[in-house]
Amino acid sequence: MPIIDGLKLSRSLRERLKQQVEELEHPPVLAIILVGNDQESQRYVNMKQRAAGEIGAGCQIHHLHEVSTDDVIALVNRLNLDKAVHGILVQLPLPPGIDQDQVIAAIDISKDVDGFHPLNLGLGYLGKQVFTSCASAAILNLIDNYIRTPKPRALLVGKSLDLIKPLNSLLVGRECPVTVVNEMQPWIDLSLYEVVVLEEGTPRSIPGSAFAEGSLVIDAGFHWQGGKTCGNAITEDFEADSRPWLLPVPGGLGPLLITMLLSNLIKAADRNG
């Protein structure tokens, strides 16, 4: 079926990661910095901690309250020097008053398992990044497995730091023709692209017939409609065998993000001992 099961794929990948951890001399350790009391951020941090435990990795939670940018950077610097910590993640978004760019830039690039350090983003244009951002890594993996064209034409709809910007640099690094728009426009012909990432949009507004057969559609929208989560695409339109491939919402990109984070953590442990 053309609908890709992100949950099933994630479970399969985590089994492999668990085996990789067992082969390491020491379990990898992830340090997560959580600033403030945002409940959604706390939920994501708990999910990451639980996932790390599932593959045998360690996870430290550093929860800060009422701090300055300098305070957060001071903690980052301590973790940079801590040889027992292999990867550092700052849970985003940060509260108002904390300079996100400065905090991320303070992370040692060899421990930047989220892949958001400006050097990692810039090196992506050359294909030489130390770590690939988690969402981008998941999508590139899907492109490699579902699209036969070596340099597929891609459309990215959105402007986020955690998905669109790093993915754009990585696709350009692969010499793929890339079009980036902040939001969907009526003049865009979706059938011209082999890879389409839909981050910005309206709920369930884009039919499967709008895309070329055999193309890969990544639904990265998140909406709450009728008591359920949904994305920008009309998921059931993709159920026929002749339709494009769809990574849907829910059960698509979300489960793969933490899996790619764990993959980066293992890579960091291998690099940093």
Whole-number pLDDT of residue 124? 87
Mark residue 139 as left, alpha or beta (left: phi above 0; alpha: psi -120 to 50; beta: remaining). Answer: alpha
Superfamily assignment of 13-114 in CATH? Leucine Dehydrogenase, chain A, domain 1 (3.40.50.10860)
N-terminal to C-terminal alpha carbon distance within the chain: 42
Instruction: Yes or no: say if 85 and 27 are a contact pair by the CB < 8 Å rule.
Output: no
Distance CA 12, CA 14 (A): 6
Helices 253-272 and 134-146: angle between axes, nearest 10 degrees: 110
Query: Which runs of E-coded beta strand occur in the chain?
Result: 29-35, 58-64, 87-90, 154-157, 178-181, 195-198, 216-219, 223-225, 228-230, 245-247
Q: Degrees (nearest 5) of the Cα angle 152, 10, 118?
A: 60
- Per residue in 133-189, pLDDT tens? 999 999 999 999 999 999 999 999 999 988 999 999 999 999 999 999 999 988 999
pLDDT < 50 stretches in the chain: none
Whole-number pLDDT of residue 161? 83
- Looking at residue 265, its amino acid is L
User: Which segments of the chain belong to CATH 3.40.50.10860?
Assistant: 13-114
Entry field: residues in the chain: 273
Whole-number pLDDT of residue 240? 73
Whole-number pLDDT of residue 241? 67
Whole-number pLDDT of residue 29? 98
Whole-number pLDDT of residue 45? 96
Instruction: Yes or no: say if 265 and 54 are a contact pair by the CB < 8 Å rule.
Output: no
User: Which segments of the chain belong to CATH 3.40.50.720?
Assistant: 134-254
Distance CA 178, CA 200 (A): 17
Superfamily assignment of 134-254 in CATH? NAD(P)-binding Rossmann-like Domain (3.40.50.720)
**Token representation of residue 236:** 């059931």
DSSP secondary structure string for all residues of 100-154: HHHHHHHS-GGGBTT--SHHHHHHGGGT--SS--HHHHHHHHHHHHH--SSS--E
- Alpha-carbon distances, residue 33 vs 42, 75, 91, 142 (angstroms): 11, 8, 6, 29
Could you give phi then psi for residue 54, rounded to 5 degrees? -65, -30
Whole-number pLDDT of residue 242? 65
Whole-number pLDDT of residue 78? 98
